[in-house]
Amino acid sequence: MPTNRRWVLAARPQGEPVPEDFRLETREIDASAPQDMVLIRNRHLSLDPYMRLRMNDEKSYVPPYALGETLGGQTIGEVVASGSADFTPGDSVIGSGGWQDYALLPAKMVRRIDPDRIRAPAWLGMMGMPGFTAWIGLDLVGGVKAGETFVVGAATGPVGSMAGQLARRAGARTVAIAGGAQKCALARETFGFDEAIDHRDPDFAKRLAAACPDGIDLYFENIGGAVLEAVLPLLNDFARIPVCGLIAHYNESASPADASPLAKVMRQVLVQRLHLRGFIVSDHFARYPDFLGEVAPLVGKGEIVGLEDVVNGLENAPQALIWLLAGRNRGKCVVALD
Amino acid sequence: MPTNRRWVLAARPQGEPVPEDFRLETREIDASAPQDMVLIRNRHLSLDPYMRLRMNDEKSYVPPYALGETLGGQTIGEVVASGSADFTPGDSVIGSGGWQDYALLPAKMVRRIDPDRIRAPAWLGMMGMPGFTAWIGLDLVGGVKAGETFVVGAATGPVGSMAGQLARRAGARTVAIAGGAQKCALARETFGFDEAIDHRDPDFAKRLAAACPDGIDLYFENIGGAVLEAVLPLLNDFARIPVCGLIAHYNESASPADASPLAKVMRQVLVQRLHLRGFIVSDHFARYPDFLGEVAPLVGKGEIVGLEDVVNGLENAPQALIWLLAGRNRGKCVVALD
């Protein structure tokens, strides 16, 4: 009977987690796998910032860890016993094995990986959930284009470094935000960012502005807080912001009543996957014929109706506008000049 | 020589415009049209909320009106003299003729309309810029789907009423927000909204919640302020918000330093056409194979690199997470269990 060590959540952290919030338990486990299950010897465990959110007892996009429960997380390991025809002992697999030596998982939740082609821990990082996060985040806002300026925080992490390299390959100028000179050097030298700015620098906002002389076209948001505040004034028209994470706020216990309104709304954008899109109709007039083609026939048939509030006389135009702004008109406000 | 009356901006309004902010001038004009120009007798002038923004001397998505300049706006009228082969006197046209009896416009900025098919003023409303605004705003966030709940403010205006009817045709439950019982009745009876809520009602937020028992999936934002505050807690996951206008704030003179942070960021979203999109990677795993197909070969060739920060020993996992949240790792944080 193998011995399984596992970390459980002992207490919900207040602010930064402390060692006492975790408890290591040891117990004997059965070395076999029931029907449709696989027993995996975990070899590598992924640690990710979102785990901090799951330690709070609050609704978020991931369910909270229960007290006393094994902490969850993605793992790479080898099958040691299989109750499924799809796996045999010795297979290298990825799954949500958690913070423990052995995991018993449903076979359908486990995927085989090829650790010879790409080194095993990379399947938890650049080739796994974090790398895919970078790729899908860019895709969801229409990608980044040649000549644009791209900015990402936590730039040496697996999400930021992948997003930066994808943006650079697309021809963008890439600016990294990272904590400390060592990480900034890593961002430039290993990951190829054009510039790297230390967010701990007292002149951070000024240096970020200097690194983005043409403004920011795509800000990949995984930080929030002071970094976001420094980014906002630099955004260009039509800037896109995939909101991927807000690590600056993760150590806040639950939703703090005193959080800034900006932090609150960004948290809602993230957790509820909101999609906000400012638009000005004049940018889109090329599609006006499409609108007419679809809607004019419906108007002709009376299936869509309109209403004009017609004010007579050019001399009454100012008063009509004053009323319009006060909400006193109904329907479309039009001045008949004669 | 015809006489042209025109309204000019006499003073920049402080808060709500007052009659003294406008001045009516009269002058004789030449009745002919130079080469490539058309002289138009304006018959209908469109009044729109965005005009208030142009009265402030500040950068926005529309250039400010100059003091003493004829106020701008869309018009419908008839060609009275043409210096272009594309137009002949008597043609019904739409253009930016401004707040005046006659407009001399470049022929290429003028478009012919058919006032017999659809009544002339409707070309300024439901069939013109406002109606198109409703259509493109829905389109830019992926449209509204059957069974969803759709909410719009200023619902009896030309944007809100068109958006509501398009949403209803798509099979959504439609909820109007409007000012006063009369407009609410109009929203229900003329425009077919399922519900209409009066934003002046002291119980507005509670009534809006009651009208949206399944939450809100698409909020077409043209109000801001207290209406937005009431909408935010009702938003469902994956809610979309085309940000079209913020009429609640238009009478604020320039960007007020004391504007709420939420109002400031919404103004930026609108004016700069920002695109914010919260996302959680697990919603998108169906596209993970696409990511692997594109990125794995690049990783194999070393064109995209990754970095893992490997901590040895399951016993060190809690400390590694604490460090990760404090930004002390670099690269992807992985625990090697052995």
* B104-144 tens-digit pLDDT: 999 999 999 988 878 888 999 999 999 999 999 999 999 99
Ordered DSSP codes for A135-168? HHHHHHTT---TT-EEEESSTTSHHHHHHHHHHH
CB atoms within 10 A of CB A72: 17
Please tell me which residue, B209 or B326, carries the higher pLDDT value: B209
Collect all residues with Cβ–Cβ distance below 8 Å to A103 and sequence separation of at least 6: A39, A40, A42, A75, A77, A95, A96, A97
Using CB atoms, pick whichever of A121, A307, A325 lies closest to residue B190: A307
- Nearest CA-CA distance, residue B34 and chain A, Å: 25
Mean pLDDT of B33-40: 97
Number of H helices, E strands in chain A: 9, 15
* A135 close to B (CB below 8 A): yes
Cβ contact, residue pair A47, B308, below 8 Å: no
Span B133-164, pLDDT tens digits: 999 999 999 999 999 999 999 999 999 999 99
CB A150 within 8 A of CB A175: yes
Asked if the model's pLDDT at residue B257 lies above 80, the reply is: no
Give A277 to chain B, closest Cα distance, Å: 4
Cβ-nearest to B331 among A156, A237, A338: A156
Quickly state the pLDDT bin for B256 (edges 50, 70, 90).
Answer: low
What's the pLDDT tens digit per position in B52-68? 989 998 877 778 999 99
Q: What's the mean pLDDT in B206-215?
A: 98
Per DSSP, B86 falls in state T
Low-confidence ranges of chain A (pLDDT < 50): none
Kindly provide the ipTM of the predicted complex, given to two decimals. 0.88
Write the DSSP symbol of residue B321: H
Interface list for B 211-240 with A (CB within 8 A)? 232, 235-240
Cβ within 8 Å of residue B110, ≥6 positions away: B38, B40, B79, B87, B93, B94, B95
Q: Do B141 and A277 touch (CB under 8 A)?
A: yes
Phi and psi at B236, nearest 5°, equal -85, 165
d(CA B226, CA B206): 13
Q: Flag if B158 and A319 touch (Cβ within 8 Å).
A: no
Residues of A in contact with B236 (CB under 8 A): 272
Phi, psi of B256 (to 5 degrees): -70, 135
Please check whether residue B39 is in contact with residue B104, taking contact to mean a CB–CB distance below 8 angstroms: yes
Q: Which of B7, B117, B321, B329 to mutate to test the interface with A (most CBs of A within 10 A)?
A: B321
- Under an 8 A CB cutoff, do A317 and B240 touch? no
Domains and CATH numbers, chain B: 3-120 (3.90.180.10), 129-271 (3.40.50.720), 281-336 (no CATH)
Of B237, B273, B306, which is closest to A279 when you measure between CB atoms?
B273
- Cross-chain residue pair A275–B51, CB shorter than 8 Å: no
Minimal Cβ distance to B125: which of A295, A317, A334: A334
Indicate yes or no: CB of A278 within 8 angstroms of CB of B277: no
**What residues contact residue B184 under an 8 Å CB cut-off, 6+ apart?**
B176, B178, B196, B197, B198
Where residue B251 falls among pLDDT bands split at 50, 70, 90? low
Q: B322, A125: Cβ pair inside 8 Å?
A: no
User: For position A327, what pLDDT does the model report?
Assistant: 83
Judge whether residue B249 has pLDDT over 80. no
Hey, is the C-beta of A21 within 8 angstroms of any chain B C-beta? Answer: yes
Sequence-distant (≥ 6) Cβ neighbours of residue A20 within 8 angstroms: A10, A11
Other beta carbons within 10 angstroms of residue B152's beta carbon come to 30
- Give the minimum alpha-carbon distance from B1 to chain A in angstroms, rounded to a whole number: 18
Is there a contact between A243 and B334 if contact means CB atoms under 8 Å apart?
Answer: no
Give the closest residue to A241 by CA, choosing from A276, A213, A279, A207. A276
Q: Is B163 exposed, middle or buried (0-12, 13-18, 19+ CB in 10 A)?
A: buried
What Cα–Cα distance (Å) separates residue B28 from each residue in B3, B24, B69, B107, B154?
4, 14, 17, 22, 40
Summarised one tens digit per residue, pLDDT across range B176-199 is: 999 999 999 999 999 999 999 999
CA distance, residue B107 to nearest chain A CA (Å)? 18
Select from A42, A154, A241 the Cβ nearest to the Cβ of B275.
Answer: A241
Query: How far B330 CA lies from chain A's nearest CA (Å)?
Result: 6
CA A27 to chain B, closest CA, distance in angstroms equals: 15
Chain B residues whose beta carbon lies within 8 Å of the beta carbon of residue A291? 131-132, 135-136
Q: Which residue of A has its CA nearest to B137?
A: A279
Q: Does B337 touch chain A (CB under 8 A)?
A: yes
Q: What is the DSSP letter of B18?
A: -
